[in-house]
Amino acid sequence: MSDLYERSLDELKTVFSRLDDAQVDAAVREIGDAKRIALYACGREKLQIMGFCMRLHHMGFNVAMVGDMTTPPVGPGDLFVAVCGPGYVSTTSALMGVAKDAGARALVVTAQPDGKTIKLADRVLHLPAQTMANDQGSKASVLPMGSLFEGALFVLFEVMVLKLMALKSITYSDMRARHTNLE
């Protein structure tokens, strides 16, 4: 295995060794209890949350990506889930405000738990990985810019899927039955 692969995997292991699994479990319960779930992120973080949205759909949750034409309104009993790695993104803050004003709860996944956007959330899941907010200096990841956070998001979301499956007694067969046949 190339040194770059090993260093990248070691960095991911370090992220998860510092992750508070109680925060993950609390986020999983928030998702499991929600009537409807609306997900949002920007850039490459959006690519990761879109995959999570798809898996939530496969598990039978009433879920949508914010910005899609079929996204329903949110209100009491609903959950707005955002990824905001750097701790502040103006559009994320604005949408979180709209969701909360409508009565929805807000869960945010971030690498910067003290960020301005994060202060608006009802629940925070801190994923301690480098983003573009801290990608400079001698301790910077071998991976560029926010790639460590984005790679960690993929693993985090897949583990959250497993935890949700256990929480809701969802089987792989249940998920396969909701997978598209238009491929």
Whether 84 and 118 have beta carbons less than 8 Å apart is answered as: yes
- What pTM does this model have? 0.94
* Residue positions annotated with a catalytic role: 150
In a domain, 181, yes or no: no
pLDDT tens digits, one per residue of 5-56: 999 999 999 999 999 999 999 999 999 999 999 999 999 999 999 999 999 9
Number of domains in the chain: 1
pLDDT per residue as tens digits for the range 143-153: 878 888 999 99
Neighbouring C-beta atoms of residue 46, cutoff 10 Å:
18
Q: Which domain, by its residues, includes 23?
A: 3-131+142-176
Q: What is the pLDDT of residue 112?
A: 93
- How many Å apart are CA 72 and CA 118, to the nearest integer? 24
Q: Quote the pLDDT of residue 57.
A: 98
| Rounded Cα gap, residues 65 and 72, in angstroms | 10
Average pLDDT of every residue of the chain: 94
In this structure, is residue 110 part of a structural domain? yes
pLDDT tens for 98-135 read: 999 999 999 999 999 999 999 999 999 999 998 877 76
pLDDT at 2 over 80: no
Q: If you write DSSP's letter for every residue of 53-113 in order, what string do you get?
A: HHHHHHTT--EEETTSTTPPP--TT-EEEEE-TTS--HHHHHHHHHHHHTT-EEEEEES-T
Residue 183, pLDDT score: 87
Q: pLDDT grade, residue 138 (50/70/90)?
A: low
3 state DSSP class of 27: helix
User: Is residue 28 situated within a structural domain?
Assistant: yes
Task: Taking residues 67-75, report their average pLDDT.
Answer: 96
| CATH code for the domain of 89 | 3.40.50.10490
Q: Is the dihedral of CA 48, 50, 55, 59 positive or negative?
A: positive
In a domain, 183, yes or no: no
In-domain check, residue 35: yes
